[in-house]
Amino acid sequence: MNITVTKPFMPPYSDFKNYLEGIWSREWLTNNGPLLNELEIKLKEHLDVDHLLFLCNGTVAIQIAIRALDLVGEIITTPFSYVATTSSIVWERCDPVMVDICPDTLNIDASKIEQAITEKTTAILATHVFGNSCDVDAIHAIAEKHNLKVIYDAAHAFGTLYKGKSLLAYGDVSTCSFHSTKLFHTVEGGAVISPHASVLKQMAMMRNFGHSSATEFGSVGINGKNSEFHAAMGLCNLKHVPDILSVRRTLSERYKSNLEDLPIQFQKIQAKTEYNYAYFPVIFESEAKMLKLVEFLNLHSIFPRRYFYPSLTKLPYVYEQSAPIAEDISRRIICLPLYHTLSIEEVDMICRFIKQELSCE
Ligand SMILES: *Cc1c(COP(=O)(O)O)cnc(C)c1O
């Protein structure tokens, strides 16, 4: 059996089947159906946020957020994220300006943001990397001072709390992904969360082709809707979030105690953060050592993943910029397998292989 970097959480099949029966009897498959409404309400309660929209995925969520905030010109962002963060900026015809990351938290270095602001800057789009909080207080202060909008790519941040509040509650808009590989998933899916009712109203219109009523259009829009089937998966999975978080925590702590004495660096969790253990990233001394280890693990049917590689400064459609810390770390980092059905014994076995390989230098 292969041990892959991740596996989707599967709720009890009978739960999903119950929802399917309801869908069949109502004959209502998409377009703001009852399950979608129920999921949005339950997510708002779960996250304790004012406004949330369930969308088709986390990439369209970023694109709609950029549109709804009417951003143009330059958007300050991180080179260490999934490609969707940068590609969405470029897709919306804005220019990504990369600010390097902190080598310990792996998030955008807030102390370097101000020097990147120009008269064309309209926003900061930062990622809570691997579910670890950005320095949201510092970013908020900079945004206030320079009159910039803040979007958080919170694709990894479901379940993380900052100062006791869901990390998704921060920023002018937070975007989330509910893709199958994420901690909480709806097969495919995403969300936008915003404290501003007016921005939410705009995003609600944009998600549905710009309709403001059946016969009127309030803005240009896109199809960002999601279906009753996806909402049903979300309703099944939401019940298991406390269990999902606790299993990931146990596995992550086991990894950490097993690997503590090796020349491996772990991500430093931001102060005042209750972390969701979404990923288990490890940074090696060199790319060569990391590649050699991955090859060795692959021989034993263990498949960690290079995440995130390459640094987004290297994208062919981003004008030449440099971010030495992100470029260096992206070459040396991998995420170790972490999923709900991974066992403690498997974690121990993976760690034994890592120790074996790193000690035979
Ligand atoms: C998964 C992910 C996305 C994209 O989400 P999709 O739902 O797959 O479109 C965006 N940003 C980050 C950081 C992600 O990990």
pLDDT digits (tens, 9 = 90+) for 182-231: 999 999 999 999 999 999 999 999 999 999 999 999 999 999 999 999 99
On whether both 176 and 320 belong to a single domain, the answer is no
On whether both 177 and 287 belong to a single domain, the answer is no
Using the CB atoms, write b or e for 233-246: b if 16+ within 10 Å: bbbbbbebbeebbe
Ranges 45-49, 127-131, 163-167, 357-361: which has the least confidence: 357-361
On whether both 217 and 70 belong to a single domain, the answer is yes
Position 361 confidence tier, pLDDT thresholds 50, 70, 90 = low
Region 141-148: mean pLDDT is: 98
Which residue's CA lies nearest to atom 5 of ligand 1?
58
pLDDT at 50 over 70: yes
Give the position of tokens 């109203």. 201
On whether both 224 and 108 belong to a single domain, the answer is yes
On whether both 17 and 151 belong to a single domain, the answer is yes
Domain count, the chain: 2
Pocket test for ligand 1, best of 78, 107, 179, 306 (most atoms within 8 A of CB): 179
Q: What per-residue confidence (pLDDT) applies to 320?
A: 87
On whether both 179 and 32 belong to a single domain, the answer is yes
Query: In angstroms, what is the span from residue 352 Cα to ligand 1's centroid?
Result: 32
Residue 99 lies in a domain: yes
**What rounded mean pLDDT belongs to the chain?**
97
On whether both 88 and 170 belong to a single domain, the answer is yes
Residue pLDDT, tens place only, 63-113 = 999 999 999 999 999 999 999 999 999 999 999 999 999 999 999 999 999
Query: In angstroms, what is the span from residue 156 Cα to ligand 1's centroid?
Result: 8
Region 159-174: mean pLDDT is: 98
On whether both 194 and 116 belong to a single domain, the answer is yes
Residue 147 lies in a domain: yes
Residue pLDDT, tens place only, 33-43 = 999 999 999 99
Containing domain of residue 143, as a range?
13-238
Q: Which long-range contacts (CB under 8 A, 24 or more apart) does 35-40 make?
A: 35/228, 35/231, 35/232, 35/235, 36/226, 36/227, 36/228, 36/231, 38/231, 38/235, 39/186, 39/231, 39/234, 39/235, 39/238
Report the alpha-carbon distance of residue 72 to residue 119 in Å, rounded.
11
Residue 2 lies in a domain: no
Contact residues of ligand 1, CB 6 A cut-off: 57-59, 81-82, 84-85, 127, 153, 155-156, 177, 179, 190
On whether both 226 and 94 belong to a single domain, the answer is yes
On whether both 264 and 227 belong to a single domain, the answer is no
pLDDT at 47 over 60: yes
End position of a domain, from candidates 190, 217, 238: 238
Residue 1 lies in a domain: no
pLDDT at 283 over 60: yes
Residue 3 lies in a domain: no
What are the DSSP E strand ranges found in the chain?
3-4, 52-55, 74-77, 95-98, 121-127, 149-153, 161-162, 165-166, 173-177, 190-193, 265-266, 273-274, 280-283, 302-303, 333-336
- The strand pairing partners of 95, in sequence order, are 74
CATH number at residue 115: 3.40.640.10
Global pTM? 0.97
On whether both 193 and 274 belong to a single domain, the answer is no
- Of all residues in the chain, what percent carry a pLDDT higher than 70? 99
